[in-house]
Amino acid sequence: MADKIEKKPSEWSPADMEVFKHPMCLISTESVKNAKGEIIKVNLKEEQKVLNQLKQIDLPMVIVAVVGLYRTGKSYLMNLLAESTTGFELGKTIASTTKGIWVWCKMHPTMSDKVLLLLDTEGLGDVEKGDASHDNNIFTLATLLCNCLVYNMKGAFDNDAVSKLTFVTEMEKNIRFRGESSEDNKTLNLILPDFVLCLRDFSLKLVINGKTISANDYLEVCLAENKSKAEYFNKPRECIRKNFQKRMCFAFPVPGDSDVMDNLETLSFDDLSTKFKDVTSRFLSHIYSVPPKKLLTSKPVNGRMFVTLVESYVTAIKHGGVPDVDDAFERVAKIENAIIEKEAVEMFVNEIKKVELSVSTDDLWRIYTNAQKAALNYFRRKAVHDTNGKYEKQAQMKMDKVWNISVGKEEQMQRKESMDKLLMELQKTQMEALDKHRKDLQKDLLKHLEIERKQYEVLLEEKLNLKKEEAQRENEGYRKEFEETKKQLETERENAQRKAEIYRKTEEDIQDEQKRNNRNMIKLLKEHHYSYMEALDKQKQMLENHCNKLDKRLHEQLEIERKIYNDLIHEKDAVQKDNERYRKEQEERMKQLETEKELVEREAEKYRKMEKERQCQWFHTRMWDALWNYK
């Protein structure tokens, strides 16, 4: 029984959910400004519409978040992971495009019955935001919600890049786990995700001391401690090593020339450079191999659990507090285990309802034990963070309560059945006794009537002194009367037979008439059916003609649009050629201007020298004049 009982998954379809079709804002931002219009604070708000959709997802989720400085191409990576060229918005200016945290769900491309949840965060380090703590909040939220954190940056992972990772050191102060929020929390790595560093437009050669190294080795070299350096140099590196113990690095070369970079979001993957495609393929393969997110050693996170985490962390930040991971896990466990507890109790109740009445005590106890064991096994498989068995005990208590009520009802039913059976036997005994008494009374009554009849006949014969002849005459008169009555009855019977024959013929005539009417009705229905089929064929022919005409018009319209599209392509090629010619002219003009600038600078230098010589000559002349006049 334990193997047969299983809860059916809830009914939901990715095709019906908007969050599976395009990215949606999960956590929005609202800037608070002072009287001068300066941003002094950025508030966070979870979008309820998206949360309601995510709650329906009842599958394990692989949660990938991409963070990094603004305008470094995070959204492009997210679109690659979603196997799409569109989705997350790609900006073309130095302004930050993504605000808050956006989410996009996809069915996992390599794992069946899994969901890939992508989180795209707003760029860190935007000077226009004004609120320095906002970057820390965004980074902390993304880190706590995902199980694979992708840090995206451009260029080499040098000291300047590491120093900008202040979010890591600040994050330790902004998270409370197992009662600790200080930087000395050594258990923080248990809840933090895998760390994947993506170096975009990387142009350095991975060679140390003449030996080629991998991108992962390059990351470890950059994170290594240098005892000759100060604390500000080693502290960020130590935080990354301590908190993110699973680390990977991917060095992406430039995907192509300037034209490719300008049109990166519109080009297909095959249009990019071979080296860029190789690194991208390895990056995607690694991300797709990441297992679903779990709460420590608990079961994988589903949509309902993810929403509870979002609400817990955002609520703590909005109220000026620090996200408490233990509190969030406890909220998830309380909500999830309450649902699983209800499902387990329902399974137990359904099994108990199958129990037939009047079973033996041993069978009843066996059914109860097997049903509870199966339900509790289901609860243990699905339970979340129930380390001390608190929620399992609650489920078991509810099952025992249901069982006690069910057993009480069954005992009442058994008692009622026994009373009904006893009552029926008593009624049967009483009926048999009454029937015997009635038969005895009837028998005695017949005997008494027979005796009275004989006594009456003797008395009648004695009192009236009737003779045998007189008795015969009386019997003869009775016989004649009986014959007359018999003839009368025969006459009435014949009359009744004649009436019955007339009625029978009338019924046959009515039935014949009904048959004729039915045949006429069938004939009319067939004629009406033939007429309807002819009309339907005509309508079908008209519809086919109309569809053919419409299809012809559509082909003509498509041909016109195709010609327009080809003209636009030609115009675009012409514009690109004009732009290329204009760019070359601009380059030649710049070279010419550079030459002219050099000539002007030489002339200016020559003029400065002449002016200096003139001033010196003038000074000497004045000095000689002064000396001459002095003498």
Three-state DSSP string of 559-602: HHHHHHHHHHHHHHHHHHHHHHHHHHHHHHHHHHHHHHHHHHHH
What per-residue confidence (pLDDT) applies to 93?
A: 36
| CATH code for position 303 | 3.40.50.300
pLDDT of residue 602: 86
Burial letters for 410-446: b for 16+ Cβ neighbours within 10 Å, e otherwise?
beeeeeeeeeeeeeeeeeeeeeeeeeeeeeeeeeeee
311 and 372 in a single domain? The answer is no
Number of Cβ within 10 Å of residue 360's Cβ equals 8
Residues 136 and 207 grouped into a single domain? yes
Domain shared by 175 and 288, yes or no: yes
Same domain, 142 and 232: yes
Q: Are residues 172 and 308 in the same domain?
A: yes
Q: Are residues 246 and 375 in the same domain?
A: no
Question: Who contacts 169 (Cβ-Cβ below 8 Å, separation ≥6)?
Answer: 183, 235, 236, 239
Q: Are residues 124 and 56 in the same domain?
A: yes
CA gap 385, 332 in Å, rounded: 9
Cα angle 481, 484, 490 (rounded to 5 degrees) comes to: 140
Which mean pLDDT values do the consecutive 10-residue runs of the chain (631 residues) have?
46 87 89 71 87 92 88 77 71 52 93 92 66 78 91 84 71 69 59 90 87 91 85 82 89 83 73 88 93 82 90 84 75 77 80 63 70 78 68 75 62 52 66 72 71 68 58 63 73 74 74 74 71 77 80 82 81 82 84 85 84 79 72 51
Is 243 in the same domain as 390? no
259 within some domain: yes
Which residue, of 399, 419, 439, is where some domain finishes?
419
536, part of any domain: no
Domain that residue 148 falls in: 47-88+98-323
Specify if 610 maps to a domain.
no
Question: Same domain for 377 and 306?
Answer: no
Q: Which residues contact 85 (CB under 8 A, 6 or more apart)?
A: 79, 265, 266, 267, 268
Task: Measure the CA–CA gap between 300 and 318, rounded to whole angstroms.
Answer: 27
Whether residue 207 is found in the same domain as residue 134? yes
Q: How many domains does the chain have?
A: 2
**One domain for residues 227 and 364:** no
Say if 191 falls within a structural domain.
yes
Mark which of 300, 323, 346 sits at the end of a domain: 323
Alpha carbon 73 to chain centroid, angstroms? 28
Please tell me the predicted confidence (pLDDT) of residue 231.
77
Note the pLDDT of residue 194. 92
Q: What are phi and psi of 250, to 5 degrees?
A: -130, 125
* Helical H segments across 147-302, by residue range: 159-163, 166-173, 215-223, 231-243, 258-262, 274-288
Pairing state of beta strands 101-107 and 24-33?
antiparallel
In a domain, 612, yes or no: no
Q: Give the helix/strand (H/E) hosting 116.
A: strand 115-121
Choose the final residue of a domain: 379, 394, 419. Answer: 419
Residue 74 to residue 151: CA distance in whole angstroms: 9
Question: With b meaning 16 or more CB within 10 Å and e meaning fewer, what string describes 90-107?
Answer: beeeeebbbbbbbbbbbe
Q: Name the residue among 245, 249, 77 with its Cα closest to residue 161.
A: 249
Residue 580 in any domain: the answer is no
pLDDT at residue 30, as a whole number: 80
Look at residue 486 and tell me if it is in a domain: no
**Strand 115-121 with 61-68, pairing:** parallel
Residues in CB range of 148: below 8 A, 6 or more apart: 62, 63, 64, 65, 193, 194, 196, 287, 290
pTM of the entire structure? 0.58
**Pair (80, 108) in one structural domain:** yes
pLDDT of residue 477: 64
Q: Quick check: is 205 in a domain?
A: yes
Residue pair 168/239 in contact (Cβ under 8 Å)? The answer is: yes
344 residue type, one letter: A
Taking the C-alpha atoms of residue 464 and residue 581, their distance in angstroms, rounded to an integer, is 159
